[in-house]
A and B are shown apart, each in its own frame.
Chain A
Amino acid sequence: MTANPDAAPVPRLRGVEDGSALEMRSIRKQFGATVALDDVDFTLGRGEIHALLGENGAGKSTLVKIISGAVRPDRGVMRLAGRPFHPPGPLAGRLSGISMIYQELNLAPHLTVEENVVLGREASVGGFLKRRGVREKIRETLAFLGHSEIPLDVPTGRLSVGTRQIVEISRAIMDRSSILVMDEPTSSLAREDTERLFQVIRKLRAEGVSVIYISHFLEEVREVADVYTVLRDGRNVGAGRMADASFEEIIRLMVGSKMSDFFPRVPREQGDRLLALKALKGVRMGGAVSLEMRRGEIVGLAGLIGAGRTETLRTVFGLDATASGGVELEGRAAGPGRPWRMIARGFGLLSEDRQGEGLALSRSITDNVTLSRLGPYRRRGFLSLKKRAAAAAGWIAALNIKAGGPQLPVAGLSGGNQQKVALARLLHQDADVLLLDEPTRGIDVMSKAQIYDWMGRAAAEGKGLLFVSSYFPELLGVCDRIVVFHRGRIVADRPAAEWTDESLMAASMTGKA
């Protein structure tokens, strides 16, 4: 093997004729009542790095899932290197030379680098593995990527995330992929790993590989991409050369001019200081966070996914361990502590993962609403089921939850009604500090408006709300103040009136307010 990576033999890549590597015309995809993609055209040139941009829910992941074969379009035509292309499944997509590199890596952690790279493609003689030539090829590939230092015999579970990504890319190259789709590849990478990744991507481009690059980090995108396409609400709203587009232009394309949603405004006054985070840093948080909130205030937490907002709420509530700093409630140290203790102190958390941890789906509405405060129904260790059901029925009526009765399992409710049950639990618990993580994600407009209304009422009663949302219009419509998180830190803190859609987006993406 040669020591100089540049001199190493270049792996041969699937031949692609000049012109576009992939063409998509009039792609439409509908999930239930939601139109994820509507008449989308997308052209990927050979050997280009193509940024796919858009807000959450704009249709980016649906588009790349269609490319990979994981999702089939309802309508539209695809051509791969000029030939009609309709992959029936992800394996077919992969065999056609399309490799996906997800944030959640597709490696078997117990297998070594070598074993992972050749997984499913093992060379063998009579069932026995043939290793020697294979190892040479993997070494060549790693050297070509400029990473000959990666050991072949270490289980990938022991490598850093950045190194694992390089291993996945090696697998794609060994597969002779002509198209690489990378979904938020840098969100969990340190800066130098990102730099390494970009070098690898540029090398691939030089070999004629096309890369579809999805990222929320606009500055990185500008650094690495040649071309961009912006999706908004399932439509292709603009494309062009990266060099010709300004930052503001792209953001304007992503945000668009949205219809103003209905945000009921409950009149309220702000009271004394309720909550203070004192340089709080959880073990999963990127940095220390200081933040104050008054009674009667709704504070919005804006930022990209992974910016540290969810982790902050979880640390405050004691779900994640604290590394340093503390939480003060009305000027007194109040944690962090275990969740049961935080609940006793008046904290309530609504999880972003409604199905996973927000609700006990197979249990009844009554069980879910009363779970974090069973005290009122307890007498000598026994629960009064009747009283409990009556209380739940009251919340069902108050929040306008559409359900057959309080005894029915939550699993049978629509998303919006499930979310109202989750909110009802916090209200029933009579929490003073409501930590709401994406409370309106994936629910219908009417339910959203009702949840906004209840948030306003809770604030008017003197409670304080920390409101995490990735949907800026609702933050602007509901909050009194909005702070922006970027890579684990708060980078801006202003009254809601001083923010706009565009400025929130820009601050979230760049970290500069």
Chain B
Amino acid sequence: MTLRPKIKIQTVLNLVAPFMGLILVIALFSAMPDVQSRFLRAANLKSVATQSVIVALGALGMTLVIIGGGIDLSAASNIALSSVIAAYAINAGLPPLLGLVLGILTGGLIGLVNGTLITRLKLVPFIITMGMMGIARGAAKWIARNQKIDAPLTWINELMSKSPHPPWLVLAPGVWLMIVFAVVMAVVLRYTVFGRHIFAIGSNEAAARLCGVRTVRTKILFYTVSGLFLGLAGVMEFSRLTVGDPTVAVGLELDIIAAVVIGGGSLSGGEGSIMGSMIGVFIMAFLRNGCTMMGWPNYIQEIIIGVIIVAAVALDQVRHRRTA
């Protein structure tokens, strides 16, 4: 069939394109005379990995949401509220494990509410989650009485430590969690009915419904799963800061969405991958890291990341047009 060669180019392009970006960024900074000696050092790589954990966990859930044709603007507020709840619980004397679980469940609850409202009120996710963005942020500030919540240091604060406690771990436990969950979610998307249905809903919701896919349930479920990951990201934020800060992570939802989009996620649904999103996360993390090492001011980073987002999506468009 004449389709064959076309598919190959397509597949190769789809596979390589996101990696290319990452390789390009790394190669670029490794070649810079000022930073080349330090950039690829283990210590720096470790630090980049640790810095990526929070955005990465958020991106794992956001990938599901975006593939399913949705969006979650409340992601960063969710992280803030979850971190405040975790700090609050531990500060109140609850065992750290319970604090961790409560933080994650808070995130899950926000996701559940998002998903339920989107499917029941039949409103676009943009509006619902934009509302939730304010609600969750406000709730976080309210619970924390508009200040940071101090909490006693516990093993939770070790989760994001660059020198992990049993030294054989090498990477912070948070980084390991990120890797494990990335693999788990990649498997879920590819090898489960749930994952297949997310793609179907994002690709053509009417067709999915007609084929007997339980679209409402699936949507609520993927928003909830996404919320759980944001809750975990919130706990990691608390672990890193050692306090529950209701003003943390403002604007982070855009970083998370950008990571998914750079990784090939389509805002019109039906497309995206965990691998791609993780690459998106690391492209942005390496860029930030490299720019900092170069001593470039913050605004340069912002401009570069802005350009990368537009370029990545434009590339995506070109791929689409070739498909059409």
Interface residues of A (CB under 8 A from B): 90-91, 94-95, 106-111, 115, 119-122, 124, 127-129, 149, 151, 154-155, 157-159, 171
Which of the residues B192, B212, B271 comes within 8 Å of A110, measured between beta carbons? B271
Contact A149 B1 (CB under 8 A): yes
Contact B191 A128 (CB under 8 A): yes
B246 within 8 A of A: no
What 8 pairs between A and B have smallest CB-CB spacing? A120-B211, A120-B212, A108-B203, A110-B270, A110-B203, A119-B211, A108-B204, A106-B207
Contact B199 A115 (CB under 8 A): yes
For residues 283 through 324 of chain B, which have their beta carbon under 8 Å from a beta carbon of chain A?
323
Contact A115 B192 (CB under 8 A): no
Q: How distant is B112 from chain A, measured CB to nearest CB, in Å? A: 19
B123 within 8 A of A: no
For residues 209 through 224 of chain B, which have their beta carbon under 8 Å from a beta carbon of chain A?
209-213
Which of the residues A91, A127, A129 comes within 8 Å of B210, measured between beta carbons? A91
- Cα–Cα, bound, A155→B3 (Å): 11
- Cα–Cα, bound, A149→B4 (Å): 11
Return chain B residues, CB-CB under 8 Å to A151. Answer: 1, 3, 7
- Cα–Cα, bound, A151→B206 (Å): 24
Tell whether A122 pairs with B196 under 8 Å between CB atoms, given A94-B210, A151-B3: yes
Contact A111 B200 (CB under 8 A): yes
Return chain A residues, CB-CB under 8 Å to B200. Answer: 108, 111, 115, 119-120
The DSSP consensus for interface residues of chain A is loop
Q: How distant is A330 from chain B, measured CB to nearest CB, in Å? A: 39
Tell whether A124 pairs with B208 under 8 Å between CB atoms, given A108-B199, A110-B270, A151-B3: no
- Cα–Cα, bound, A391→B42 (Å): 75
Contact A108 B1 (CB under 8 A): no
Identify which of B202, B203, B270 gathers the most chain A CB atoms within 10 Å of its CB.
B203
B169 within 8 A of A: no
B121 within 8 A of A: no
Interface residues on B, range: 20 to 34
- Cα–Cα, bound, A91→B206 (Å): 12
Return chain A residues, CB-CB under 8 Å to B181. Answer: none
- Cα–Cα, bound, A120→B193 (Å): 9
Contact A158 B208 (CB under 8 A): no
Q: How distant is A196 from chain B, measured CB to nearest CB, in Å? A: 14
Can you add 18 more A-B contacts, CB < 8 Å, to A90-B210, A119-B196, A127-B192? Answer: A91-B212, A94-B210, A95-B212, A107-B207, A110-B271, A111-B200, A111-B270, A115-B196, A119-B212, A120-B208, A120-B212, A120-B213, A122-B196, A128-B192, A129-B191, A158-B3, A158-B6, A171-B211
Tell whether A122 pairs with B193 under 8 Å between CB atoms, given A108-B207, A109-B204, A110-B203: yes
- Cα–Cα, bound, A155→B199 (Å): 12
- Cα–Cα, bound, A119→B206 (Å): 12
Q: How distant is A67 from chain B, measured CB to nearest CB, in Å? A: 15
The DSSP consensus for interface residues of chain B is helix
- Cα–Cα, bound, A286→B247 (Å): 60
Identify which of B208, B209, B210, B211 gathers the most chain A CB atoms within 10 Å of its CB.
B211
A-B contact count (CB 8 A): 80
- Cα–Cα, bound, A178→B170 (Å): 62
Return chain A residues, CB-CB under 8 Å to B194. Answer: 127
Q: How distant is A408 from chain B, measured CB to nearest CB, in Å? A: 27
Look across to chain B and name the residue whose beta carbon is closest to the beta carbon of A153.
B7
Contact A108 B212 (CB under 8 A): no
Tell whether A157 pairs with B323 under 8 Å between CB atoms, given A106-B210, A107-B204: yes
Q: How distant is B323 from chain A, measured CB to nearest CB, in Å? A: 6
Identify which of A109, A110, A124, A171 gathers the most chain B CB atoms within 10 Å of its CB.
A110
- Cα–Cα, bound, A416→B323 (Å): 41
Return chain A residues, CB-CB under 8 Å to B271. Answer: 110
- Cα–Cα, bound, A149→B194 (Å): 29
For residues 181 through 200 of chain B, which have their beta carbon under 8 Å from a beta carbon of chain A?
191-194, 196, 199-200
Which of the residues A110, A121, A154 comes within 8 Å of B3, measured between beta carbons? A154
Q: How distant is B165 from chain A, measured CB to nearest CB, in Å? A: 35
> What would be 9 A-B contacts, judged by CB atoms less than 8 Å apart?
A106-B207, A110-B202, A111-B196, A119-B213, A121-B211, A121-B212, A122-B193, A151-B7, A158-B323
Return chain B residues, CB-CB under 8 Å to A106. Answer: 204, 206-207, 210-211
Tell whether A129 pairs with B208 under 8 Å between CB atoms, given A110-B203, A119-B213: no
